[in-house]
Amino acid sequence: MEVTKKQNIIISNPETRDFLADAFYPEKAGKLPLVIFVHGYKGYKDWGAWNLMAEKFAEAGFFFVKFNFSHNGTTVEDPHNFADLEAFGNNNYSKELSDLGVVIDYFSEYDTIDEHKIILIGHSRGGGISIIKTYEDERINGLITLASVDSLDRFPKNEAFEQWKKSSVYFVTNGRTKQEMPHYYQFYEDYEKDIHRFDVERATEMAKAHFLIIHGTQDESVSVKNSEHLHILHPNSELYLIENADHTFGAKEPWEKSVLPNYLHTAVDECIQFIKEKIVSE
């Protein structure tokens, strides 16, 4: 099936700033389900094998969107690098939820979109954000998490927290780029101010969408126990564990092969089957 790609679409969010999105979709008549991919911490839309993943979803008959959060450290001019560490340091969950809402609004207006079939796929921290948005936005009727966290309270603890509060910034080294990436204390202040909104466990229990949870058993970044916990909180969800898969399901940056890594291929196949059975067939 022929796939159309529109990349680096500029999306404006008055509450944050401009950011970029990509759309991959098949050349065929009729309304298409809208599938939106939400990247995680230190992630971005062009990382690793995400473009190949997008093509696979489009070939399956979906309108697939991936985007950069406005404050993920990339810029409109340089979407492939963390060129704006100041923005990265000023990111927070309120901004990410706002950006995701703008993306849903923007693409659901397309004539080719079936507005009754909107699905979020969130990876890692993006899974937590997707769960909250699904609870908040009744337009979303499909939710898939990939290696998701089960809480957004992932801040420094004890002495490290007190030092962060005192100095207003702490740094995390990016293992790939070796950049020292700042996190300003406003991140925690934003979380604490709206702590009930950011309660992933509560949102998981309350979300009404069809829910698929995928996790690798050898995830080195987010324990598989996170997804098992989400499944317990939402008993009607489906839990699919991929034996020996890591946090990114075999993908890495850069990904120079022309095919998906095996574990990610398995995850995408499971996602496509789930969407077709639970949402498209309704």
Tens-place pLDDT, residues 210-231: 999 999 999 999 999 999 999 9
Q: Compare 137 and 28 and report the one with higher pLDDT.
A: 137
Whole-number Å distance between alpha carbons of 230 and 237: 8
Task: State the pLDDT at residue 68.
Answer: 99
Whole-number Å distance between alpha carbons of 247 and 146: 9
Tokens describing residue 197: 């909104």
* Among 189, 207, 192, residue whose Cα is nearest residue 132: 207
Whole-number Å distance between alpha carbons of 130 and 186: 22
- Residue 10 carries which DSSP code? E
Is the pLDDT confidence value at 258 over 90?
yes
Sequence ranges of the domains in the chain: 3-154+195-280
Mean pLDDT of 128-136: 98
Is the pLDDT confidence value at 282 over 80?
no
In this prediction the pTM is 0.98
Task: State the pLDDT at residue 195.
Answer: 98
Region 3-154+195-280: CATH code:
3.40.50.1820
Tokens describing residue 11: 């999306």
Whole-number Å distance between alpha carbons of 124 and 214: 11
Confidence of residue 28 (pLDDT cuts 50, 70, 90): confident
Residue type, 53: M
Tens-place pLDDT, residues 155-208: 999 999 999 999 999 999 999 999 999 999 999 999 999 999 999 999 999 999
- The residues that bridge with 173 in the sheet, in sequence order, are 180
